[in-house]
Amino acid sequence: MPIIVDEVVISVEVGNREAGGDGAAPAGPLPVEDRQALVEECVARVLEILRDRQEP
């Protein structure tokens, strides 16, 4: 069954609180490569969740 996504809204909070970090933002903006990798990971996880919801 194909999945048709009309609109996707993704909200992400990046932090490392589980490992004892304070979750503070990094000193400067992320490099483009890191931002792209983060977005790709988020999209992959969202698609995985949508696939799991579609399975009977």
Q: Pick from 46, 56, 52: which is nearest to 12 by CA?
A: 46
pTM of the model: 0.47
Q: pLDDT, tens digit, for every residue of 1-56?
A: 777 777 878 787 776 666 555 555 556 777 888 888 889 999 999 999 999 888 76
Range of the domain at 48: 30-56
Q: Do the Cβ atoms of 46 and 10 come closer than 8 Å? A: yes
In a domain? residue 35:
yes
Tokens of 56: 């009977």
Task: Report pLDDT for 19.
Answer: 59
**Structure confidence at residue 20 (pLDDT):** 57
Within a domain: 5: no
pLDDT, position 3: 75
Give the count of domains, the chain: 1
What span, in angstroms and rounded, lies between the C-alpha atoms of 37 and 45?
Answer: 12
Residue 44 confidence (pLDDT)? 92
Task: Give domain status of residue 4, yes or no.
Answer: no
Q: Is residue 17 part of a domain?
A: no
